[in-house]
């Protein structure tokens, strides 16, 4: 079993955007090779994409159904080990279900699917099949996010009181979907994106990051969703108040009309003894403030970090890492888990990744936010 | 009338904290001189304070009533022109009312008083007497706050969609009032502070800053106030959702349990064409982001600013100014208005300052937040 | 002797620039009052300036000679205690000498004068008269500069190895003196500014800051001065290599053609165990880096600082202070020393200020830099 | 010729450090595959390394000589296209020469070799063979470095006057080589590192970056090299003054005893009309300051960049990229050039990379710095 783990990709053909990110992330650590793909529902486009990726023509398929079926018939020494699903949201459920049913592990882009029911079905199927399912909430792959989580689990900040998570972007400040911009078009279309726009696309990243770092569980949600751009069919901005089990409180803010913002995912966690702040715009620093000690700026290059953080920093200490390295950490950890599974071993918990259950929580978050915003009252999570 | 404007101070005796700030702010520009004071309700302490300030003993009074009465009997060429009230919140109304009734202009620390009724009475009295009343919402004195306001008034960002104002502090993370810390004691005491803790003390700064910069008017409020520190009698944290006339939305967050934070008053304003961000921790920069142009960092030292900003930057361009200079801008502008009034002129609108009406809005904001948090529903402003 | 300390100002009339800074700095803490002035060599302009400052006409003089003479004849209870000299460099020596000879303490803007010989004469005269002489190297008044110095004196960084001090400005990037800009005109004129331009005007600030913080003594200097702007008579840029007694090395860089820079005075000190960095653009933070611990950001508002730093932070902890507050620290400390002198006490070393001897070092630095740059070889300091 | 470009690696076995960086950089874009390697001069270690990289045993060699010879005998459809040399400095020349002589393209880690003579020989051989030779001065691969260069070439800043390039690190603050730390050991050993320590290891990065961004050519050098750590055989700190053809001046500073610094490579370029600043610690921003316009912060995610910059930003606009992505740009561009060569096309100048001639300049820089520091006088470049 000494070989690279084999990936088949669903979606991500020429002109797509997140597919290339997944491929780079998968390639970075030399643990995974792309062996096949159904890159587009248009067979010609799928073929052209496969060729550009140096794949043999016979491993480039016209549909995911065809790929999953054909690959399952290949000898074990050849066929793909897992699928990577990088299609728009409404085409997550089908391929994921099929892959699981045919015995393939799954990596799936977020959010998991279109509604809680689909999500629960995928979670159940994953449990039944004992297959591995990674959801690419990639931001949790950053070393400093791991560090933040480790510090909070070690109670260094004391009990957590208040959390503020936010993800402002500005790219949908205008009616971009009206000019046929592909990324804008499907993300603002309820049929392809699901019941929310900004809240599902990036709000779930904030929710996932918040829960991952703090370990807090949301108990109640209040929300105010807004569609600012005339003609848009889904929310492009949302403010959410949160209450957590145990008494902590939170604010979550996601916006795609925050003009001029790039991907300013940012979290602040206030505990009894200190607080921490992390921002994706400067991901290699973790600012830790204390009640009665000087503020610290943790970095990979100086001082010692928690093992969880060190295990996810791969380059010479003190050089900046970015989005792709964090994304690659999800793939690397998934590959390690697949390899452990193949060898009959338990996976090392140090190399964790978001799973289908994070996806269920994300879908529930989306539904509760929509409900709270409609009712204008607190809704139990 | 060519002389300095004469100030009498109420409160601010030895051991107090904000009084010294007011005195430095008033002295900075050489327009105002401190001529008398009732620095403490304890006459001995008032006398000692006056002596330390080099005041003649006969101008140091044992109570504000005594001071106002005595000063009103002095010849016009000697008596104070205005009072500066720097007592705890519950001792704002009395001196302010008395000063107005005796014909003195007033500078008063914020919040204006203890409830909306008192506030309205002071507003009415100010109008009846045609006297000047400044409320020291000092943060609006920063040059870059003036710049932000000017840019929004000039529609440079287009219509405003979303505003986020926040004021996290960490100094009340523990039960400081239990150890007789004077500042903590009165700020957490409903009898002296009013109906709120953090929301009144610093939330009103955020509210005032937000309204000043954006010109938006709050229409509806939702709030979630919390008291995190056991034994505390007032809120030490609050999250507020805002709706503004015209459709803009907002988030306001104030906390005194944000462990490790100093005075991180910060505002972000997102408009159709761009956005701006200002933070008191780095007050000499205004970050302006655009939909399709590079981000700009406006500073007093490079490029040209709006006249409103230039009129409030007093030192060599490019040197950092701070809290005291912003505070002094309130006093300087107030002194200019008093001087204009003495000369029978209209005040120059370039040199503005917060007034008793801002105080009324602040008190209303406090009451509505408390109501919304209790009812757990949106409340009209 | 319970009264404010009395200041007479030389220079700083209407249209001047640094005079107003000195007046604000002197006024801030309520310890000093301006009682007289010779604000301009043009008597009419001096009078107009005095009137605008609310001075009685009889205390406004037409020349510094007249002022020093007249004030010396006033009764002790009325006459000024010290002069503040805020004229261009070539008019420092004369007034300083006269003031000392007539028994007045002196505050003088930097650099001390025009050459080392004058500087030594003033130093000798100061010693002979036992009068107090402060030189306004104002940047050493910042609390975080005091903190840096205290940490290095306490050997927290170990032995110092390398120091980098720099002061880039951009305001003389063009031939501003050609358009009659007053500040540019005298600063680029050898007759009024002395033997250097940028190096004397701001390079000496960097030199003084470096020596103050590190306690290192320069042993050798190498320099490369440049005049970039055609037509300019003095250097507008200079790079200096330094060697210190004990083996440390340094780089000093001053420029007035660093287009776009404001007053980016910045110092980095590298020791055996750690390093620190301070910048005037963000003066309220001191960044301290360690070999094997996380980076710290020291601030006035959180954690405990050295007594030297705390004694120079005057406003509510955690609010930003700026250039004027640092400048005012020089005046406040000078006033405390004058008061101690009047009472026959020793001054408290906690409240230090730059003296005439710092001025001598600065003049020597200027001369050595010019010599090294001409000879293009190392010159002993 | 539709296939990945094939790489053979020399050095980079288990326990090495920069080899893994090269492999990740080469893999990222899916254009290059590792097909063989001589990972260590110890054959067993080479084999173990090859196996961990999933290479077939027959393509893992015991020495670079064996690899180059054996690969040259393989059919064209199988053999490697280029070698990647990631050994210590003293083992660059031999493999590079051999590879060129056998007709293989070369990627080589920096600095190019041990002295100028070797460098010139490699440059001549490259020209004779018409093979491609990339030197991994990886920092020039950052999008914002490309942007800086493009702006200066377009004269947006006017003529350049002053440049400051610096590369402080702190990791050699102690006698690390005494404790057998592998990276420290060879870098401080003149036999393996060459005539300089810090200046060759990181000073050449600063020199290369400076020349790449500004296009300036060094005419004269003055230097002061120091060895601060007792027992160390090579310089660990150096200050360099530069003069450029055309009159610009510069400062270059490299240090490995800058305690607490990570890899703070930073450059500031001051021109007649404006200036720019870039730092590797925050590589996704380029700060541009102007004489009379607000400071701009250029980012990949907002506004339009020069084509040179856009061609080197591969992920969703506005997400942070890091060291590996910049490094990968060198490999990607090299692969494109190899592919163009195979197809008989000219390479696209948009996709540039440092060449053997940059290596010659770097070696000359090292020699001149050593000479200038010894003679303590200006040395012509």
Neighbours of chain B (3+ CB pairs under 8 A): A, C, D
What does the pLDDT read at residue C319?
Answer: 84
Best CA proximity match to D82, nearest among D96, D66, D63:
D96
Residue in A270, A279, A287, A289 to test binding to B, most B beta-carbons within 10 Å: A270
Query: Would you mind telling me the total number of residues written for chain C in this entry?
Result: 381
Domains annotated on chain C, with CATH: 5-131 (3.40.50.720), 142-315+360-380 (3.30.360.10)
Q: What is the pLDDT of residues D200-219, one digit of tens each?
A: 999 999 999 999 999 999 99
In this structure, the number of other CB atoms found within 10 A of the CB of residue B143 comes to 26
The residue behind tokens 């990051």 is A209
What does the pLDDT read at residue B33?
Answer: 97
pLDDT class for C230, splitting at 50, 70, 90? very high
How many residue pairs bridge chain B and chain C with CB atoms within 8 Å of each other?
Answer: 116
What does the pLDDT read at residue C316?
Answer: 66
Residue of A173, A249, A295 lying closest to B260 (CB–CB): A295
Q: What is the pLDDT of residues A329-365, one digit of tens each?
A: 999 999 999 999 999 999 999 999 999 999 999 999 9
Q: What is the pLDDT of residues A114-151, one digit of tens each?
A: 999 999 999 999 999 999 999 999 999 999 999 999 99
* Contact across the interface for B263 and C315, Cβ inside 8 Å: no
What does the pLDDT read at residue A330?
Answer: 98
Q: Does the structure show a pLDDT above 70 at A110?
A: yes
ipTM: 0.95
Q: At what angle are helices C143-153 and C204-214 packed, to 10 degrees? A: 50
* Contact across the interface for D288 and B294, Cβ inside 8 Å: yes
Residue C287 to chain A, least CA–CA distance (Å): 9
Residue of C295, C297, C299 lying closest to A302 (CB–CB): C295
Q: What is the pLDDT of residues D156-167, one digit of tens each?
A: 999 999 999 999
Best CA proximity match to A166, nearest among A214, A134, A198:
A198
Residue of C314, C319, C323 lying closest to B315 (CB–CB): C323
pLDDT class for D353, splitting at 50, 70, 90? very high
Q: Is A372 helix (H, G, I), strand (E, B) or coil?
A: helix
DSSP type of residue D292:
S
What is the average pLDDT score of chain C?
95
| Chain C residues contacting A via beta carbons under 8 Å | 288-299, 302-304
pLDDT > 90 in chain A, percent = 92
Look up residue A248 and give its two tokens: 């902590």
H helices within chain C, ranges in order?
Answer: 18-27, 43-52, 64-73, 93-101, 116-129, 143-153, 182-187, 190-193, 198, 204-214, 307-310, 323-343, 356-375
* Contact across the interface for B295 and D296, Cβ inside 8 Å: yes
* Contact across the interface for C259 and D271, Cβ inside 8 Å: yes
What does the pLDDT read at residue C286?
Answer: 97
The residue behind tokens 């001792």 is B91
* Contact across the interface for B319 and C323, Cβ inside 8 Å: yes
Cα B37 off chain centre by? 21
Measured CA to CA, the distance from residue D55 to residue D70 in angstroms comes to: 16
pLDDT class for C292, splitting at 50, 70, 90? confident
H helices within D133-181, ranges in order?
Answer: 143-153
What does the pLDDT read at residue D257?
Answer: 98
Classify burial at D292, counting beta carbons within 10 Å of its beta carbon; exposed 0-12, middle 13-18, buried 19 or more.
middle
| Chain D residues contacting B via beta carbons under 8 Å | 288-299, 302-304
Measured CA to CA, the distance from residue B299 to residue B319 in angstroms comes to: 10
pLDDT class for D316, splitting at 50, 70, 90? low
B167 strand-pairing partners: B254
Q: What is the pLDDT of residues B10-56, one digit of tens each?
A: 999 987 889 999 999 999 999 999 999 999 999 999 999 999 999 99
Q: What is the pLDDT of residues C328-364, one digit of tens each?
A: 999 999 999 999 999 999 999 999 999 999 999 999 9
Residue B356 to chain C, least CA–CA distance (Å): 25
Chain D residue numbers with beta carbons less than 8 Å from the beta carbon of B296 are 294-297
Q: Does the structure show a pLDDT above 90 at C26?
A: yes
What does the pLDDT read at residue B14?
Answer: 87
Mean pLDDT of D215-227: 98
User: pTM score > 0.80 for this model?
Assistant: yes
Q: Is A14 helix (H, G, I), strand (E, B) or coil?
A: coil
Residue A221 to chain B, least CA–CA distance (Å): 12
Residue in D159, D242, D252, D260 to test binding to C, most C beta-carbons within 10 Å: D260
Q: Does the structure show a pLDDT above 70 at A70?
A: yes
Q: What is the pLDDT of residues C179-197, one digit of tens each?
A: 988 889 999 999 999 999 9
Chain A residue numbers with beta carbons less than 8 Å from the beta carbon of D54 are 2-4, 30
Look up residue A241 and give its two tokens: 């108040």
Q: Phi, psi (5° rounding) for residue B10?
A: -115, 115
What does the pLDDT read at residue B292?
Answer: 87
Cβ(B105)–Cβ(B26) below 8 Å = no
What does the pLDDT read at residue B108?
Answer: 98
Measured CA to CA, the distance from residue D331 to residue D135 in angstroms comes to: 10
Q: Longest C-alpha distance within chain C, in Å?
A: 65
Residue B79 to chain D, least CA–CA distance (Å): 47
Measured CA to CA, the distance from residue C94 to residue C104 in angstroms comes to: 14
Classify burial at C367, counting beta carbons within 10 Å of its beta carbon; exposed 0-12, middle 13-18, buried 19 or more.
buried
Residue D19 to chain C, least CA–CA distance (Å): 26
Classify burial at D183, counting beta carbons within 10 Å of its beta carbon; exposed 0-12, middle 13-18, buried 19 or more.
middle
Residue of D27, D299, D319 lying closest to A323 (CB–CB): D319
* Cis status of the peptide bond prior to B13, with omega within 30 of 0: no
Chain B residue numbers with beta carbons less than 8 Å from the beta carbon of D295 are 296-299, 302-303
Mean pLDDT of C145-172: 98
Sign of the torsion angle spanned by Cα atoms D94, D97, D103, D105: positive
Q: What is the pLDDT of residues D42-61, one digit of tens each?
A: 999 999 999 999 999 999 99
Mean pLDDT of A101-116: 97
Q: Is A55 helix (H, G, I), strand (E, B) or coil?
A: coil
pLDDT class for C77, splitting at 50, 70, 90? confident
pLDDT > 90 in chain C, percent = 92
| pLDDT tens-place values along chain B, 381 residues long | 689 999 999 999 987 889 999 999 999 999 999 999 999 999 999 999 999 999 999 999 999 999 999 999 999 889 999 999 999 999 999 999 999 999 999 999 999 999 999 999 999 999 999 999 999 999 999 999 999 999 999 999 999 999 999 999 999 999 999 998 888 999 999 999 999 999 999 999 999 999 999 999 999 999 999 999 999 999 999 999 999 999 999 999 999 999 999 999 999 999 999 999 999 999 999 999 999 899 999 998 777 899 999 999 987 677 888 999 999 999 999 999 999 999 999 999 999 999 999 999 999 999 999 999 999 999 999
How many residue pairs bridge chain A and chain D with CB atoms within 8 Å of each other?
Answer: 116
Q: What is the pLDDT of residues B207-246, one digit of tens each?
A: 999 999 999 999 999 999 999 999 999 999 999 999 999 9
Alpha-carbon distances of D107 from D16, D82, D91, D132, D333, rounded to whole Å: 17, 7, 13, 8, 11
Residue of C289, C292, C303 lying closest to A294 (CB–CB): C303
């Amino acid at each position: 079993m000494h070989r690279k783990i084999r990936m088949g990709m669903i979606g991500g053909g020429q002109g797509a955007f997140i597919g290339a990110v997944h491929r780079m992330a998968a390639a970075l650590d030399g643990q995974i090779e792309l062996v096949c793909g159904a890159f587009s529902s248009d067979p010609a486009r799928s073929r052209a994409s496969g060729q550009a990726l140096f794949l043999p023509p016979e491993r480039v398929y016209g549909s995911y159904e065809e790929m999953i079926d054909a690959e399952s018939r290949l000898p074990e020494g050849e066929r793909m080990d897992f699928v990577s699903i990088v299609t728009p949201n409404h085409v997550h459920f089908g391929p994921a279900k099929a892959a699981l049913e045919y015995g393939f592990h799954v990596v799936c882009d977020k959010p998991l699917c279109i509604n809680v029911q689909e999500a629960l079905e995928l979670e159940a199927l994953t449990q039944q099949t004992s297959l591995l399912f990674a959801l690419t909430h990639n931001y949790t792959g950053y070393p400093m996010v791991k560090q933040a989580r480790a510090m909070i689990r070690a109670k260094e900040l004391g009990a957590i009181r208040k959390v503020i998570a936010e993800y402002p972007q500005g790219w949908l400040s205008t009616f971009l979907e009206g000019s046929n911009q592909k990324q804008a078009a499907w993300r603002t279309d309820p049929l392809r994106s699901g019941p929310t726009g900004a809240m599902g696309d990036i709000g779930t990243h904030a929710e996932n990051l918040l829960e991952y770092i703090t370990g807090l569980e949301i108990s109640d949600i209040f929300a105010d969703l807004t569609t600012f751009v005339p003609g848009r069919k889904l929310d492009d901005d949302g403010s959410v108040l949160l209450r957590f089990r145990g008494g902590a409180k939170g604010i979550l803010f996601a916006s795609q009309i925050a003009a001029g913002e790039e991907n300013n995912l940012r979290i602040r966690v206030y505990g009894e003894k200190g607080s921490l702040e992390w921002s994706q715009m400067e991901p290699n620093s973790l600012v830790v403030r204390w009640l009665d000690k000087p503020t610290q700026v943790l970095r990979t290059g100086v001082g010692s970090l928690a093992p969880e953080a060190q295990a996810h920093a791969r380059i010479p200490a003190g050089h900046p890492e970015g989005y792709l390295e964090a994304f690659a950490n999800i793939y690397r950890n998934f590959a390690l888990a697949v390899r452990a599974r193949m060898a009959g071993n338990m996976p090392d918990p140090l190399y964790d990744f978001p799973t289908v259950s994070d996806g269920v929580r994300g879908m529930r978050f989306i539904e509760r936010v929509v409900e709270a915003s409609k009712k204008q009252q607190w809704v139990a999570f």
